[in-house]
Homo-oligomer: A and B are copies of this chain.
Amino acid sequence: MRVHGFVRVAVTLCALNARARADDPLPSWNERASKSAITSFVAKVTEEGSAYFVRPADRVAVFDNDGTLWCEQPMYFQFLFALDRVKALAPRHPEWKDEEPFKSVLAGDPKSLAAGGEKAAAELIAATHAGMTTDEFNAAVKEWLRTARHAKYNRPYNRCVYQPMLELLAYLRANGFKTYVVSGGGVEFMRAFAEEAYGIPPEQVIGSAGVTRFEERDGGPVLVKDPKVLHVDDGPGKPAGINLFIGRRPVMAFGNSDGDLQMLQWTAAGPGPRFALLVHHTDADREYAYDRQSHVGKLDKALDEAARRGWTVVDMKKDWKRVFPET
């Protein structure tokens, strides 16, 4: 009987354990403080009658994109798109082979390119992101995602998304949250893949934006992308973008760099329960390790602020069982 009883208990425990795993909405998160901070917050704000209850209409969660939902190394993917786009457009621009910054891009000379600084970057973005219709740009991004591969992972860039964050997005939506991307990246660049990659529809993607111009053409009206910047959705531009596009303060905010600091501050400063989280890139093997000194995704002031305010900081190496989805 004792043996029988032990077996029965063991079987029951195994079954419970399997059920717990099957029921676990965040299977790629290790059982550590970050995970329980998330799940206990969500439990608290979704429990009707609780003092912390947040009505469904107010359940807004905002996510930075580069370095938070997808990888941003060795360089912001949108910049890699711009470089590839220069190469693709070069046959139509014979003058580029003698003109900087295009010359350096075409010659594959990152050093001279870097010497051009922000001015060069702005020229590249203008040449590759403007002077075409919104439909043409969308098609160009989709074609690039279909064909280009990340050098380290040899997979399409839109598969270099973080599996634990995909689970988190789905988990929040299952709990009545409306999930938004709020990123310094270009809004039209991100909308070309956000719905498929993250389950986030275009109207919930907020980003940097240029001016578009309505034009009547033979085939009907079009919107043409002008090289003029309308909104820079980075740093203090993030709360401004949230206010402009959403018009209400988020309850949860997720970022990974100093560019997300004001978004997290703005979110955390609201009345009632608020949640702020930073992804700390600590995993040089499976991904990249960088923070205070990085040129891409610098995390310095926000890391200090997180310590001061008690925000959740994800240690990618320790907190995540896996980084990317299967292939």
A positions within 8 Å CB-CB of B: 57, 134, 178, 187-188, 191, 201-203, 205, 209, 211-214, 216, 220-221, 223, 230-231, 236-237, 239-240, 243-248, 262, 265-266, 269
Contact A221 B134 (CB under 8 A): no
CA of A211 to CA of B236, assembled, Å: 12
List 7 extra interface pairs beyond A212-B244, A220-B269, CB under 8 A: A187-B244, A202-B248, A214-B262, A221-B262, A221-B266, A230-B231, A245-B245
Are A240 and B212 in contact, with the CB atoms below 8 A? yes
The docked-state distance in angstroms from the alpha carbon of A271 to that of B191 is: 20
This chain: copies in complex: 2
Write the nearest CB–CB distance from A219 to chain B, whole angstroms.
9
- Is A57 a contact of B240 with CB atoms below 8 Å? no
Q: Which residue of B lies closest to A271 (CB)?
A: B220
Question: When chains A and B are docked, how far (Å) is the Cα of A256 from the Cα of B185?
Answer: 36
Knowing A231-B230, A236-B213, the reply to whether A188 touches B247 (Cβ < 8 A) is yes
Q: Is the CB of A240 within 8 A of B214?
A: yes
Residue of B with least CB distance to A206: B245
Q: Select one of B134, B216, B245, B246 contacting A243, CB under 8 A.
A: B134
Structural contact, A269 and B212, CB atoms closer than 8 A: no
B243 touches A223 (CB 8 A): yes
Could you tell me the distance between the alpha carbons of A188 and B244 in the complex, rounded to whole angstroms? Answer: 8
* Known pairs A230-B231, A231-B230; A214 contacts B266 (CB<8 A): yes
What's the nearest-Cβ distance from chain B to residue A197, in Å?
15
Q: A231-B230, A262-B221 are in contact. Are A247 and B202 (CB under 8 A)?
A: yes
